[in-house]
Structure 1
């Protein structure tokens, strides 16, 4: 069993040292490819999960006005900021915003989360807001 399976951090540091030294022939290419692909999937998953939480909280904000509080406002604020930071760090992630199926899937998951947390079963099953509205910092702030 090689270092990759025994100590990922040590393996990664060693691979970085090999790259810096230009020792390409000594790289663990197969596992480097696997790790790079995993890193990309992780970034995509994080964006998707943050969008789910944001949608759920926006739905709760709209459909439970008597329950609005600083906690929900803070969650909405934080998710929008984290999504913006992800896009700033990895601009290609914004390509998801042009994918209607991606939004539909995030919406369905956001609805499921909001339904579970509120017990409301009449939430819209299809997106009623655009990505731009969902991400807009002042969207729902005046309500």
Structure 2
């Protein structure tokens, strides 16, 4: 028990050294010496980080898709940039889902909130009124993730 509290304090004092020591304990199957509480917190933190990354990428996808569709004044200067950004975000989401396919339902859970967030950000960036952008999502999740789909340009 004393070693466990030593390890726990190492986590607070020197994170890098704690990681190296944790790996050493795992490699040598010295499970008694593991700081399980912090190890579990770290592992859960990785899972939360994956979710944050997906939420951010989906939000950015909506922002750029909306700018693509409704940013008429800026379209000629930003067409390639917006298209490239959306393609990049889609590829990153695809990569995340290939590594962790169990997160696909999470995208559906956060879909509406990410659309609303993307809508607000697009309004701020474009300085267009929020009402310019539809309240209802301009696409479904499959379309947003489809590398060949882009919304029709507003006239």
Q: Please say whether Structure 1 and Structure 2 have the same fold, judged by a TM-score greater than 0.5.
A: yes
Q: Return the offset for 1:97.
A: 3.3
Q: Following superposition of structure 1 onto structure 2, how do residues 1-143 of structure 1 map, counting pairs within 5 Å? A: 2-68=9-75, 69-99=79-109, 102-120=110-128, 121-122=130-131, 123-140=133-150
Distance 1:27 1:79 in 2: 38
Q: SS of 1:88's equivalent? A: helix
Asked if the contact 2:116–2:135 (Cα under 8 Å) also holds between the matched residues in 1, the reply is: yes
Q: Which moved more, 1:35-44 or 1:65-74?
A: 65-74
Q: Return the offset for 1:126.
A: 2.4
Distance 1:124 1:97 in 2: 20
Distance 1:111 1:82 in 2: 21
Distance 1:3 1:103 in 2: 40
What TM-score do you get using the length of structure 2 for normalisation?
A: 0.84
Q: Return the offset for 1:118.
A: 0.8
- Structure ID, larger Rg: 2
Distance 1:98 1:118 in 2: 27
Distance 1:141 1:55 in 2: 11
Give the count of matched residue pairs. Answer: 141
Q: Return the offset for 1:10.
A: 1.9
Q: Return the offset for 1:95.
A: 1.8
Q: Return the offset for 1:7.
A: 2.0
What TM-score do you get using the length of structure 1 for normalisation?
A: 0.90
